[in-house]
Amino acid sequence: MTQPTKQFASHADVEEKQVSFVKLSDNAYAYTAEGDPNTGIIIGDDAVMVIDTQATPVMAQDVIRRIREVTDKPIKYVVLSHYHAVRVLGASAYAPEQVIASRDTYDLIVERGEQDKASEIGRFPRLFRNVESVPAGLTWPTITFQGAMSIWLGRLEVQLLQLGRGHTKGDTVAWLPEQKILFSGDLVEFDATPYAGDAYFEDWPQTLDNIARLEPRALVPGRGAALTTPESVAQGLAGTRAFIADLHASVKAGVAAGKDLNAVYKDTFAVMKQKYGHWVIFDHCMPFDVTRCYDEVTQFRDPRVWTAERDQEMWRTLEG
């Protein structure tokens, strides 16, 4: 007799979140929703840029509605901070002229986009409302870059930067150098648990240091409230860095003691729960985070592909 599959913690997350649309400057806005994935908006002289799209075209319509409350300029650019489905599958709603991503993100879409799409939709149903509105296929960049590029929205410069690996190998931030406003994607979270299933734990702290060197006066994290002062930016960076460092240290200690993944997970969950258990999606992220960290510490420098089947196998092993 087949054992029933233990549901992901996220399947119990069905409560709608309160959306905020925060003005950071005359050019920059943050669409946030109590720990759900954020979207950034940059309004230039002649066009609008959207950073991360929401998970479905239907969900993206609420972003578009709020953009239209403040400008009628065309939405010409969509920027993908990384490849995860929850960030990219709403792109078609904006009908942009260009979809921009790092070359590393493009390569990850080629390598694992289909598997990741199926994996993410299965994990977190509420974040993929009206998933039937997603066009067939994947969201493909029309422009890729390596390292850095500038997009000019009239006289407003937007710098797209790869500051290092962290959440994924393709992480891109959008930076307004004149206003010192940064859109970080999931490299930075605020009062929200970092998802690290495709992460580079050893690299991530240095990447956060590289962000700090820009001295942002405001920052839109991947999840959590917009950070509108240098002090709150520093708090967001420090919290993300501490989570990554603490989890990495616990896993390394467990591996050094000869413990298997299951034992390392139980120890690390107990340690992290005390300090971070109140952050949103903590229970959901921890099995993925510890599994990836264990992989990196033991034998897999690069993240393995998550499939829907691998998700279920991992969840049963650690949470069953």
Give residue-wise pLDDT tens across range 163-205.
Answer: 999 999 999 999 999 999 999 999 999 999 999 999 999 999 9
**Cβ atoms 100, 80 nearer than 8 A:** yes
Which tokens go with 220?
Answer: 């839109």
Task: Looking at 69-214, list the stretches that DSSP marks H as alpha helix, in order from N- to C-terminal side.
Answer: 85-88, 103-123, 204-213
CA 2 to chain centre: 35
| Residue 3 pLDDT level (bands cut at 50, 70, 90) | very low
In whole angstroms, give the CA distance from residue 303 to residue 293: 9
Which tokens go with 292?
Answer: 């990836």
Write down the mean pLDDT value for the chain.
Answer: 93
122 versus 155: which is more confidently predicted? 155
Q: How many residues does the chain have?
A: 320
For 245-303, how does the pLDDT look when each residue is reduced to its tens digit (9 = 90+)?
999 999 999 999 999 999 999 999 999 999 999 999 999 999 999 999 999 999 999 99
Whether the predicted pLDDT of 100 surpasses 70: yes
Q: Who contacts 64 (Cβ-Cβ below 8 Å, separation ≥6)?
A: 75, 93, 94
Q: CATH class for domain 9-319?
A: alpha beta
Percent of the chain with pLDDT over 90: 83
pTM of the entire predicted model: 0.94
35 versus 115: which is more confidently predicted? 115
pLDDT, residue 1, reads 31
Buried (b) or exposed (e) across 75-94, using 16+ Cβ within 10 A?
A: bbbbbbbbbbbbbbbbbbbb
